[in-house]
A and B are shown apart, each in its own frame.
Chain A
Amino acid sequence: MDKLFDIDLTLRLLSLPFVTTALIVAAVLGLLAGVLGPLIVSRNMAFSVHGTSELALTGGAAALLLGWDVGNGALAGAIVAALVLGLLSRRSADYDSVIGVVLAFGLGLGVLMLWLYKGRAANKFGLLTGQIVGQDFASVALLSGCAVVVLGLLAALYRPLLFAGVDPEVARARGVPTTALALVFAVMVGAATALGVRTVGSLLVLALMVTPAAAACRITASPLKATLLAVLFAEVAAVGGIVLSLAPGAPVSAFVTALSFLIYLVCWAISRTRRGSLTRA
């Protein structure tokens, strides 16, 4: 247990190049997740992100089986899933159940493909829990490239995306192409999700994509403040999770999820105690 807080060991490990790489990856991912998160939450897309991340796993498993690059497989799987889910109307009554149906089928396929795969078992496990330590230069470049594209798109589309998310009827009436935006946003989320799958793993993507934003939305209704807070929370969870995991050599995802859950609990408590007063700006 004392290994958990061994500061000397942590500091020594922090100076290692592969740890530095991991921290960069985590920081980029935290930024992406934090910026996308409030829009995901305002669109009630948490379950869809979950579905996308599980289907990234299926894509990764398929790539593993076929001998392709796992990261690209996950990216392809997530984007296909995001497109399919993005085409569904999220207001329709059966939106959640359709995600459930698609997700179960996709996961089943993934399990089958992992069973068929005869390679190293560690490769399989990595898809579930991520492998942030050991990212090579190519994957860091892929992540950074994707991040730049997603952030650029987001800057260009931010206002219509927010409009279409919180007030679709009036947005449509004002000429905002809500359907096209829903697809573009789904693909952006898909790409970010797939990158998250490689680092924190498919099961824990929600910890970065949704939890920080949900926590931020608990304590502010301002879109700007919510975005800034979500980025902060996601960075703390992602970077902090890695640093804490170094000394015990434990899986990164355990710490990332624990941190983001803790942040959520604190925000929830704050919003509860504030409920008496009316201002939540």
Chain B
Amino acid sequence: MSRADIRPAPTAVSTEPWESTVEHAAVALAGARLAYGDRVLWDGLDLDVAPGEFVAVLGPNGSGKTSLMRVLLGLQKLSAGTIRVAGAAPGKGNRAIGYIPQQRAIDPTVAVRGRDLVGLGYDGHRWGLGLAGMRARRQRVDAVLAAVGATGFADRPVGLLSGGEQQRLRVAQALVGEPRVLLCDEPLLSLDLAHQRAVSTLIDRHRRETGSAVLFVTHEINPVLPLVDRVVYLVDGRFRVGTPEQVMTSETLSELYRTDVSVVRVRGQIHVVGAHGQLGDLCENGAHHPPHQDTVDH
């Protein structure tokens, strides 16, 4: 089990927005261990995420990325270690957290409109009917719907929308409450390239404007590579934390995957190539380098 935690030097010269408020970590994990029975997903995980920081969480299927989100939400208890989220114990500060769940199609029988789903992200956790704040709510919801390009289908029942349309509503729902911590579990899934770009730009703008920390689970780092401050890479109980330059190297990934892995940078994109063409086993059907990515340069 590797516990090496490669962090950026705290004195590194940077103009990143979180520098000024670094004393209040948005997420603080120390010595965190998660095990289901005797299956250990990760152990000894130390991770402080500063406000405004963008952290990509990578790793193959079953490596414990969603479980990490569940831990941060207080839905799953750590086996060991300590954790603070948005300045509170997990599960206590959840109103400051925006959450985009790993895509599961919304039940087609759910007969509410897209704007209702987004509105629930705004004030669905509050008691009362909320009649007084209706106006402000509507304006805010309309603005966020426009930002994700969902205005055109916001009045249709969510159950009937396409996967990508639902996903954009999910993004709007998570952003509408102006969270201090944004947990995104594969938010780019089933989005076309234009919308991948739109959604990641939106999330980036949100964290720059509000100083929200972002934990971004993804199988495909390239669409968000320019935004990523640090990477948490989980593989089979081992992990690495560091900047993309530190983690996304042939040496580090070979160590994590315990096999020969080459990392190639082409036109500002990262391509992971496994030995003997075993890419599918290594990183999620070759997720960092689908063939079409080679020719699409956006």
Contact = CB atoms under 8 A, between A and B. Distances in A.
B129 interface: yes
A222 B156 CA distance: 9
Contacts of A176: 124-125
A162 B123 CA distance: 11
Contacts of A279: 155-156
A163 B120 contact: yes
Given A156-B127, A172-B75, A41 B111 contact: yes
Interface stretch (B91-99, B253-261, B279-287): B91-99
Contacts of B91: 175
A175 B116 contact: no
A155 B128 contact: yes
B54 to A, nearest CB: 20
Contacts of B130: 159
Interface in B170-196: 170, 173, 177, 183
A266 B277 CA distance: 60
Interface in A157-190: 157-160, 162-163, 166-167, 169-176
A226 interface: yes
B75 A221 contact: no
A224 to B, nearest CB: 9
Given A159-B123, A160-B127, A176-B125, A166 B110 contact: yes
B237 interface: no
B64 interface: no
Contacts of B123: 159
A183 B144 CA distance: 33
A217 B91 CA distance: 34
A280 B124 contact: no
Contact of B120 (A44, A167, A172): A167
Nearest to B75: A172
Nearest to B170: A170
Interface in A174-230: 174-176, 217, 221-223, 226
A41 B183 CA distance: 30
Nearest to A171: B124
B99 A166 contact: no
A281 B113 CA distance: 7
Given A42-B111, A42-B112, A159-B127, A171 B156 contact: no
Given A156-B127, A158-B129, A174-B121, A223 B116 contact: yes
Contact of A175 (B117, B125, B129): B125
A138 interface: no
B124 A222 contact: no
Given A159-B126, A170-B101, A172-B75, A221 B120 contact: no
A42 B95 CA distance: 24
Interface in A89-123: none
Contact of A173 (B101, B110, B157): B101
A263 B70 CA distance: 44
Nearest to A176: B125
Contacts of A223: 112, 116
Nearest to A157: B127
B75 A173 contact: yes
Nearest to B70: A173
A281 B156 contact: yes
B73 interface: yes
A16 interface: no
B109 interface: yes
Nearest to A279: B155
Given A159-B130, A280-B156, A174 B95 contact: yes
A163 B113 CA distance: 13
B155 A281 contact: yes
B94 A175 contact: yes
Given A221-B113, A223-B116, A226-B111, A174 B155 contact: no
A177 to B, nearest CB: 10
A68 to B, nearest CB: 36
A157 B123 CA distance: 12
A278 interface: yes
B125 A166 contact: no
A166 B109 contact: no
11 contacts: A155-B128, A155-B129, A159-B125, A160-B124, A160-B126, A166-B117, A173-B99, A174-B124, A174-B125, A175-B125, A279-B156
Interface of B: 73, 75, 91, 94-95, 97, 99, 101, 104, 106, 109-113, 116-117, 120-121, 123-130, 155-157, 170, 173, 177, 183
Interface of A: 41-42, 44, 155-160, 162-163, 166-167, 169-176, 217, 221-223, 226, 278-281
Given A156-B128, A280-B157, 16 more contacts: A156-B127, A162-B112, A162-B120, A166-B112, A166-B116, A170-B170, A173-B94, A174-B94, A174-B95, A174-B125, A175-B94, A175-B125, A221-B111, A221-B113, A222-B116, A223-B112
Closest 9 CB pairs of A and B: A163-B124, A175-B94, A281-B155, A173-B99, A221-B157, A163-B120, A217-B111, A174-B125, A221-B113
